[in-house]
Amino acid sequence: MEIETLLHRVMRVNLMDIVNKISFPRHGSENYEALLMVGDFIEEKFKEYGYIVEFDEFEYYGKKHKNIVATLKGMDSDKNWLLIGAHYDSAIYSCGADDNASGVAVMLEVARILRETSCAQNLKLVAFTLEEPQAFDLNFLIGSKHFVKKMKKQGYRYKAIILESVGYFSKVKGSQKLPAFVKGPDVGDFLGVVGNGKSKKLLDLFEKAKVYVPTLNLLTYKAPMNGWLSIETRLSDHAPFWDAGFQAVMLTDTAMFRNPYYHTPQDTPDKLNFSLLTDVAKLLIAAVLSANT
């Protein structure tokens, strides 16, 4: 099936619906029941789209948590996977529309579109929990660290694409800040794709795919020293994959470097650009399909 045909199937209304339904505080330690509710919503969406849903479960401070894993064949059916992931918890007191209902919405819409393609056979979709700092000890990336450590020990291999805050854009000059040692524009109207040295092929994949989505500005960045030189490039669920030696990239609107509502109660759906969020979904689909051409 041609890439252009599939891109036309991406529905802005679906992205809006998902973001609106899960944009409320869902912090792991402060809003535990709300977090479970969002997890159930994601599980049902995956099942609705025809995926087998399994869980990577663990306990944290006496409460049960789960990474939600969706595949067409079962997560144990292969050892090598292309993984698309997004965290579904929010920061404490935040509605979490951009961070990270936007990433969850794109992941689910991409899952819906790719379901009928041959590349979906080797696709693992993971909704990670407890990405945000926790009130007890300020630990973070808890869910993805657990997942990567467990799966690597069991012999799984991954190329990972992580969606992290992908819905806030601005055309105002000066709206974009950047981490130390990172050069780029001062207008926040682009999607960033951040990789490390080992992930150059994934970065190249998105450069190749951008021809299919000309309305979306794209900036790729290869973080030196596994991101330790600019620590902000490590603050999402791609970092455990880097540390485990896997290829991984983060798709991001740069979060706190652009979005003034980051980690606040004002991070609500009305602040997002759903036309460009639709483009993000299209870009990801084009990249995944390009990997198989």
Read off the pLDDT of residues 152-161 as tens digits, 9 standing for 90 and up.
Answer: 999 999 999 9
CA dist 8 and 282 (Å) reads 8
pLDDT of residue 139: 93
The residue-averaged pLDDT of 198-223 equals 97
- Count of other CB atoms within 10 angstroms of residue 293: 7
pLDDT greater than 90 at residue 11? yes
- Per-residue pLDDT, 235: 97
- 272 contact partners, CB below 8 Å, separation of at least 6: 19, 97, 98, 102, 167, 168
Which architecture characterizes domain 3-290 according to CATH?
3-Layer(aba) Sandwich (3.40)
pLDDT value, residue 181? 84
Half-sphere exposure of 135 (CA within 13 A, CB side): 11
CB 56 within 8 A of CB 67: yes
Question: In the predicted model, is pLDDT for residue 293 greater than 80?
Answer: no
> Which residues are 57's β-sheet partners?
66
Q: Where are the beta strands (DSSP E) in the chain?
A: 52-60, 63-71, 80-87, 123-128, 157-164, 190-196, 217-223, 247-252
Amino acid letter for position 225: M
Q: Where are the beta strands (DSSP E) in 140-226?
A: 157-164, 190-196, 217-223
Residue 184 CA: distances (Å) to CA of 30, 88, 161: 36, 29, 22
pTM exceeds 0.95 for this model? yes
Q: Is 105 helix (H, G, I), strand (E, B) or coil?
A: helix
pLDDT grade for 27, boundaries at 50, 70 and 90: very high
Residue 138 has what pLDDT? 85
- pLDDT at residue 117 above 70? yes
pLDDT for res 291? 82
Mean pLDDT of 253-278: 98
Residues 6+ apart with CB under 8 A from 114: 6, 120, 123, 285, 288, 289
The whole-angstrom separation of Cα 266 and Cα 92 is 12
Average pLDDT of every residue of the chain: 97
pLDDT surpassing 70 at residue 227 = yes
